Structure 1
Amino acid sequence: MKSISKVAVAAALTAGVAGIAVSTPAAAAKEKKQEQKGPALKLSKEVQGPASAAQTALGTKDFATAAAQLATAQAAAKTDDDRYIVAALQLQMEATKIQDARAANQPVSEEGLKAPLDALIANPKTPAVDLPKYNYQRGIMAANAKDSASAIQFFQRAQQLGYNDPNLTLQMVKIRMDSGDIAGGSAELEKAIDAQIAAGQKPSEELYRYAIAKTNQKKMGPQTVGWIKRYVVAYPTAKNWRDGIVTYGMTQSSAVTLDKAQKVDLYRLMRATKSLADQYDYENYAQWTYDMGLPYETKTVLTEGKAAGKIPASSASANDLLKVANQAIANEGSLAPSEAKAKSGANGRVAANTGDAYLGSGNYAKAIELYKVALQKGGVDADTVNTRLGIALANSGDKEGAKAAFAQVKTAPRADIASLWTLYLDNPPTA
């Protein structure tokens, strides 16, 4: 998420000031005949003169004269009306100076806005319609000054008063997260995104990536996983699927720590989502399946990587691995004897291993059959077998059967892996 921009003040802050007419006694009769656009004020005699002179000077952008007259008026102010007009004109002066400086591409300091804004926020004569924007602008100034506590207070007050800028909630999120309240910021962002969706809007992709990065930096695994899932549902591109999978569990800085077998099931998800990105992805995936005794899958992955142009024909590591995988396939021979042994075994271990071999070779019907045998006989890790059963069913085209299998995976981290596969079935890559 981008940083909060410096406040652009001129039009927004002075809108309520422009309708105030400060008149000397000689013009009072004429003024009474005019429609009052601003608040009705009763100024002290000592304030009315310099305030009127200041307003006239501001009309010609004679800021030196305006400042001198306002200083005189401020020193003489006795009532809330007096203090309101002085603060309102000071705000108009500072905002106009900022507007002019920006137009001329000159350096801008917004410090001069603080005193009049604070005075107006505290003054009972300030029109209620102006208070939300004044609190909002003070919140931005506090945020830019890294005063997170004050910024949150001003923004919350602006919200309570009805300020409806769509960026307000997101700015509060950023302040909370930047100040270290990642859990609070994540909760606020979730509400903001839900509100946007309810209003028929599509939240920015940047918001999801921001939440994933912030929660993962703090090692808030469950929150990170939740944001990854929301991200790939909202923006299910192949690139985002890969980014989500990698952030979830494929690197040392990922949200969770996985073993090699669990990561292979994520590589399988990358393959399904067509998000294997480069030579490293293909060769690492292939090496790990070979290490797990799945040479058919090793061969398939390397062949696909070469065909996709991701693995150079000259890659010595890929060529050597393909050679040993082909040799292992030749040595392994038919899986029929293992299948028979699996079906007659006292437990499901051989059935599960044989199911893995069939899954790796792309014989999904046999893999499904053997995984079901393994679950029936028991003595296996049911979460692992149900994950692989779901993958085999998904790859065979049985979407509902795959979902049912994935739903049987109950414990972390395999429950998250299964849920990512389920999300893929409902949210396949769009590009």
Structure 2
Amino acid sequence: MKTLSKLALAAVLATGVSGLALVAPAVAKDKKEEAAAPGFKLSKPVQAVAFQAQTAIKERNVATAEPLVVQIETAATTDDDKYIAAALRYDLENTKLLLAQTANPKAPLDETPLAKPLDALLAAKSTPAADRGKYLFRRGQLAYNSGQYPVASQYFTQAKAAGYTSGDFDLQLAKVKVQAGDTAGGLADLDRYITAQKAAGQPVPEAYYRFAIATANTKKMAPETLAWMQKYVTAYPNTKVWRDVILQYAFAQNSLAVPDKAQTTDLYRLLRAAGAMPDQAMYEDYANSVYKNGNPYEAAAVLKEGTAAGKIPASSSFSKSLLTAANAAIAREGSLAASEKQALAAKDGKIASSTGDAYLGQNNYAKAAELYRAALSKGGVDASEVNTRLGIALARSGDKAGAQAAFGAVTGTPRAGIAALWSTWTQVGSTAPAPAA
């Protein structure tokens, strides 16, 4: 006994009938002519009761239909007879399931009686080719519901080859392949489907991307997880999706990356650029981190932005004191010209890098890029970190090609992943999420 899943029940309602259409005897003809199925030649014993059996099934009169179907199964001799017998048995068993579900929606349903007529329909020479796909699909569902995932995968694959389609069939096919142990194959199938849908100008549900990300992440497939995250924000570049992806990438319990302080700051910068900063805690952590790293300009800007967005309450004593400290530091430092001069005269790029950060905090992206380039040319700095920030400065200034080149020079984990997400933002940007339907 297996509980009929919502997926399976929907399929019963949608494909639970064989599509068989029997006709009653024509009044104008010999009264001895019995019911027939158009295009089929039935033996007389089957003709005698076939229409009555189908009528009883349509009326959900199981007590009347059962002995009639048994009579047909016993009398069936030809290929067409056997097809009719299997189709009527399939319809009858589906009707029983529907009646049981209606009587007690929470009770478990035994789907096993469907297996035999489905196997008979798939084996029958007279089964219309147009119906094979839905029978293969339904047979796959039986295997899926009983935990036979490799078998289900085979049936679903055959159903697709036979032309079966439904709203989320490709997602189901990918899921069952994953559960059958073929994670790479399932995700590859899903990717091919999405590519085809996009090429045809058809929308792809968010659920497809979310499934792929969760699956790849669960299987510790880091490159694939990141790639699917990039595909997701490319397809849905709104602030909510950006927030979800970045949080899952580095801040969730099962996150893909475990960034250090400097890397976290660059992820905060991405959340901010995407308009996706989530809450007071992150705004304040972001501001505090850059302030402690000698960048009061960015700290002040972040706190003001968080307050204006309503994420930081005006009553926050921490934010008030931090903003006061940041403004005081800005007043003391004054112009960055002296720091810039010192940076360009230094033997290594450390001062140039920190001055570039300060200019970045001021939204002076041209100057920031200039100082980051100086830092890279002098050396003595973390090249991947500086290239990440050079890319950020160029991206924020609108130099997409330059940004992509800088991000492409980033190596290491998780730096390269952070740069990849920034690279995607450079290409697609971010928009407000669509209103709820």
With normalisation by structure 2, the TM-score equals 0.84
CA contact (8 A) 2:290 2:296 kept: yes
CA contact (8 A) 2:18 2:87 kept: no
Aligned partner letter, 1:422: S
CA contact (8 A) 2:353 2:372 kept: yes
1:7/1:354 CA distance change after superposition, 3 Å = closer
1:90 aligns with 2:89: yes
Structure 2: how far apart are the matches of 1:99 and 1:252? Answer: 42
1:390/1:7 CA distance change after superposition, 3 Å = closer
Residues 182-233 of structure 1 deviation map (CA, whole Å, 9 limit, x = unaligned) = 3332222111111211221010122222222232233322112111111111
1:428 matched to which residue of 2? 429
1:368 matched to which residue of 2? 369
Structure 2: how far apart are the matches of 1:62 and 1:298? Answer: 74
CA contact (8 A) 2:42 2:78 kept: no
1:287 matched to which residue of 2? 288
CA contact (8 A) 1:7 1:141 kept: no
2:66 matched to which residue of 1? 67
1:388 matched to which residue of 2? 389
1:61/1:360 CA distance change after superposition, 3 Å = closer
Q: Name which of structure 1's ranges 138-147 and 128-137 shifts more when overlaid on structure 2.
A: 138-147
Q: Name which of structure 1's ranges 272-281 and 300-309 shifts more when overlaid on structure 2.
A: 300-309
Pairwise mapping of residues 203-242 of structure 1 onto structure 2 (< 5 A)? 203-242=204-243
1:357 matched to which residue of 2? 358
Q: How far is the alpha carbon of 1:259 from its aligned partner?
A: 1.3
Aligned partner letter, 1:128: A
Structure 1: how far apart are the matches of 2:288 and 2:386? Answer: 22
Aligned partner letter, 1:83: K
1:125 matched to which residue of 2? 126
1:348/1:151 CA distance change after superposition, 3 Å = same
1:329/1:75 CA distance change after superposition, 3 Å = same
Structure 1: how far apart are the matches of 2:236 and 2:55? Answer: 56
Number of aligned positions between the proteins: 424
Q: Name which of structure 1's ranges 64-73 and 155-164 shifts more when overlaid on structure 2.
A: 64-73
With normalisation by structure 1, the TM-score equals 0.85
Residues 108-128 of structure 1 deviation map (CA, whole Å, 9 limit, x = unaligned) = 654433221121112223232
- List runs of 5+ in structure 2 lacking aligned partners: 433-437
Structure 1: how far apart are the matches of 2:209 and 2:6? Answer: 16
Q: Secondary structure at the match of 2:9?
A: coil
1:160/1:28 CA distance change after superposition, 3 Å = farther
Structure 2: how far apart are the matches of 1:234 and 1:304? Answer: 27
CA contact (8 A) 2:43 2:77 kept: no
Residues 243-282 of structure 1 deviation map (CA, whole Å, 9 limit, x = unaligned) = 1111122344211222111111111111111111221121
1:389/1:366 CA distance change after superposition, 3 Å = same
Q: How far is the alpha carbon of 1:294 from its aligned partner?
A: 1.7
Q: How far is the alpha carbon of 1:21 from its aligned partner?
A: 7.3
Structure 2: how far apart are the matches of 1:154 and 1:12? Answer: 15
Q: How far is the alpha carbon of 1:82 from its aligned partner?
A: 4.3
Q: How far is the alpha carbon of 1:374 from its aligned partner?
A: 1.4
1:339 matched to which residue of 2? 340
Structure 1: how far apart are the matches of 2:423 and 2:83? Answer: 61
1:146/1:3 CA distance change after superposition, 3 Å = farther
Q: Name which of structure 1's ranges 249-258 and 326-335 shifts more when overlaid on structure 2.
A: 326-335
1:293/1:251 CA distance change after superposition, 3 Å = farther
Q: What's the RMSD between the two structures over aligned residues?
A: 3.3
1:52/1:322 CA distance change after superposition, 3 Å = closer
1:274 matched to which residue of 2? 275
1:180/1:319 CA distance change after superposition, 3 Å = farther
Q: Secondary structure at the match of 1:129?
A: helix
